[in-house]
Amino acid sequence: MSDCILAIDQGTTGTTCLVVRMGKAAPGATVLGRGYAEFPQHFPEPGWVEHDLEEIWTSTGTAIAGALAAAKVRGADLCAIGITNQRETSGVWDARGQPLCRAIVWQDRRTASRCLALKEAGHEELVRSRTGLVLDPYFSGTKLAWLLDEVPLLRQRADEGEIKFGTIDTWLTYRLTGGAVHVTDATNAARTLLFDIRRTAWDDELCGIIGQIPRAMLPEVRSSSEVYGKTKGVGILPDGIPIAGIAGDQQAALFGQACFEPGMAKCTYGTGAFALVNTGGKPVTSHRGLLTTIAWRLGTHNTYAVEGSTFIAGAVVQWLRDGLQFFTSSAEIEALARQVQDTAGVVLVPALTGLGAPYWRPEARGLIAGLTRGTTRAHIARAALEGIALQIYDLFDAMRQDTGSALRVLRVDGGASANDLLMQLQADLLGVEIHRPTVLDTTALGAAFLAALGVGLFADTQDIAKVWKLDKTYTPTMSDAGVKEHVARWHAAVAKA
């Protein structure tokens, strides 16, 4: 049996694929090749964000080809495929695999009024108690309800059983298996507003409340590590490769960071930033604006997590690059920010698409405060990095209050975790060590681990924990008084955003 895994990490702006060798034949996990392909973003109206499912599929094929070529392996050398995905993005297609409209992306805010109406009707507590989520346009359920109501004939065809709904993991699995398998895993189902995370089942009452969602269009919910089906008719890959691991991107990153014990935590710095702490076999209800979610499901056992999500992290750097033209490459922000010792009182709240946890204020907008005649681009660049780190401070402060335990160490990943200044600022503000692993594509690595587990290359999570490797540690240096000053200034600005 081969020991090469193809990990597909389908993200918001592009698709990354890794070929990873792991298991008994090779110590640890070795990334043999990487492929990446961007795809277009569609913004038909202010606040609307859409993806074309066929463009996502095309980017996936391109990324697979790139990874195989870089790794110098053939498709026939793969023993399994793992999939991880942008989570709440919602699409619909027919039995032939033909998309019926563009998918609505997790960043899309068009259903804010629907969420408000559901809150005013008194449904928020029921939704939270069963799903662990809040009523926010971030999640899939109201997106699907909007599609059913607004796309001509879609509800009629859905009622007649002709339509498939899915998040991006479901779409990719459907296409990879030639339409034979319509499934999702528990981590993705847990992000829909339609799924009871304690019973691990679709909830008929919630389907009715959120928008009279026909159960027949929802995928079968399976564990995060098992053989769901095999490739068929893909073209770039031979038939018969098992798809053996599925998890939403942030849960996959938690798994890829080997955070297998309660209290272990990670933060992924991508377009947004997402912090999760493992809470073990029982869900912990948040009373401070965080989410309770399924971290992964292995066999019949759920591991749960508390999650905090910020919508804008690396995206604020992209905005400084593209919108304000501060620099030509995102990597240049670190050198620019290091030109000054501090922000000179400037605070940047990166609420460019509203505020996520723990505030959940979709109406909030970005804000730069504390400007003077002496403010330079360097001050604003540093304030942007501090704004990312301070959002994460808020998340872990809320987690501490919810779980009753303080953070000990934070494992970090994602593209922006390569920014040494940002990671040092994060360590300073949290007052804990930051551990960055050797592989920053931890989301894809988590999908590879789940697939390897699904086909027996690993016996259990203890085997996987031995594979995780530390690259760099950041130790806090800021005084308590300095942290308090930063946080007070930040909270004053957030209140005005």
The string of pLDDT tens digits covering residues 330-372 is 999 999 999 999 999 999 999 998 888 898 888 899 999 999 9
- Which residues make beta-bridge pairs with 42? 50
How does strand 103-104 pair with strand 50-51? antiparallel
Q: What is the pTM of this model?
A: 0.90
What are the φ/ψ torsions at residue 56 (nearest 5 degrees)?
A: -65, -45
pLDDT at 13: 86
Residue 208 lies in a domain: yes
Check which CATH number belongs to the domain holding 89 and give it.
Answer: 3.30.420.40
The stretches in the chain having pLDDT less than 50 are: none
pLDDT at 24: 58
pLDDT at 357: 85
Smallest Cα–Cα separation from 1: which of 456, 453, 445? 456
pLDDT at 26: 53
- Which residues make beta-bridge pairs with 305? 278, 293
Residue 295 lies in a domain: no
Residues near 137 by beta carbon (within 8 Å), at least 6 away in sequence? 108, 109, 110, 111, 112, 114, 115, 143, 362
Smallest Cα–Cα separation from 337: which of 316, 351, 354, 323? 316
pLDDT at 150: 94
pLDDT in tens, 101-159: 999 999 898 999 999 999 999 999 999 999 999 898 989 999 999 999 999 999 999 99
Domain hosting 161: range is 4-250
Residue 387 lies in a domain: no
Residue 481 lies in a domain: no
What are the tokens at 115?
């969420």
Residue 130 lies in a domain: yes
Residue 46 lies in a domain: yes
With tokens 């993705």, the residue in question is 188
pLDDT at 162: 92
pLDDT at 414: 87
Residue 287 lies in a domain: no
The total domain count for the chain is: 1
Residue 220 lies in a domain: yes
How far is 455 from 234, CA to CA, in rounded Å? Answer: 21
